Amino acid sequence: MKAYLTYFKLKFISGLQYRAAAWAGIATQFFFGFVYIMVYIAFYDSGGSNLPMQLSEVVTYLWLNQAFLALVNQFSRDQELFKLIKEGGISYELARPKDLYFMWYFKIIGQRLANVTLRFIPLIIVTALLPYPFHFGLPSSFSHFLLFLLSLGMGTLLVTALSVLYPIITLLTMNEKGIVNLIITLADILSGIVVPIPFFPIFLQKISSFLPFQYISDLPFRIYVGNVSIENGLFGVVIQFIWVVLLILFGHFLMKKNLRRVVVQGG
């Protein structure tokens, strides 16, 4: 366990060095947050029937999305791992007397936590000071806030378990573009990064509830804004936990299977 935590620390500390990149990221996310919110404001101004969320809820949701984007998104992949696979560095990894799956798992989680640590605080502070309608709101209650923290933690474990799968699939396909890109695109839509899940057409909401993606960030963010009751939120956290366990078991199994057929590139 200690060795894995060292991997985590290593990635976390080196990730914290990229401060200039983080500022650029914050600026970009701030702007995009604004743009998305403007669109929703225009829609809400035009009126609609039985809307699933109030405007202030949507605004806070979108800011949370931007603030924690580095943690919860699928599209930023760990290029280092793909490079290992494509250029043969994986042979060194295999020589190490540790479980490769968990080595990668802790690397990814360290990287993601480092990226988000640099980004979310300035974004939240600035947006909390903005006037209505751009204002980033407080959590709907203290218990909602605690549940949000728990659920976001689970979401982090979940997104990591999914992210490890992509290099594992690449072990077999040798190309991270085709199938992996398809999965990532679907995952990003279904995790609510593009549009919050309650705005989906009903049939897609149904499909999505059987998949792990909406439990990454949509659930914690909706708990925060109070769109999900405490009871449903707790139930959601249990589902998150089940998905984390299932995906880690699956990833571990798939890695073992794929490693039997791995081809080392380069010399």
Of 45-74, binders to another protein (CB under 8 A) are 45-49, 51-52
DSSP-derived secondary structure for 99-127: -HHHHHHHHHHHHHHHHHHHHHHHHHHHH
- Interface with another protein, residue 42, by CB under 8 A: yes
> In the complex, what is the shortest distance from the CB of residue 19 to another protein, in angstroms, rounded to a whole number?
11
- Interface with another protein, residue 207, by CB under 8 A: no
User: Residue 16 in contact with residue 118, Cβ under 8 Å?
Assistant: yes
Q: Which of 97, 131, 201, 267 contacts another protein by CB under 8 A? A: 201
Q: Which of 8, 200, 215, 243 contacts another protein by CB under 8 A? A: 200
Residue 130 burial by CB count (10 A; 0-12/13-18/19+): exposed, middle or buried?
Answer: middle
Whether cis (ω within 30° of 0) applies to the bond prior to 133 is yes
Q: Which of 199, 239, 258, 265 contacts another protein by CB under 8 A? A: 199
Q: Which of 3, 10, 43, 150 contacts another protein by CB under 8 A? A: 43
The contacts of residue 208 (CB under 8 Å, 6+ apart) are: 190, 197, 200, 214
- Interface with another protein, residue 79, by CB under 8 A: no
Q: Which of 117, 175, 258, 265 contacts another protein by CB under 8 A? A: 175
Of 15-34, binders to another protein (CB under 8 A) are 20-21, 23-25, 27-28, 31-32
Closest CB to another protein among residues 86, 93: 86
- Interface with another protein, residue 211, by CB under 8 A: no
Closest CB to another protein among residues 43, 145: 43
The contacts of residue 74 (CB under 8 Å, 6+ apart) are: 159, 162, 163, 184, 187, 188, 191, 193
User: Residue 226 in contact with residue 255, Cβ under 8 Å?
Assistant: no
User: Residue 237 in contact with residue 153, Cβ under 8 Å?
Assistant: no
Report the interface residues with another protein, using CB under 8 A.
20-21, 23-25, 27-28, 31-32, 35-36, 38-39, 42-43, 45-49, 51-52, 175, 177-178, 181-182, 185-186, 188-189, 194-195, 199-201, 204
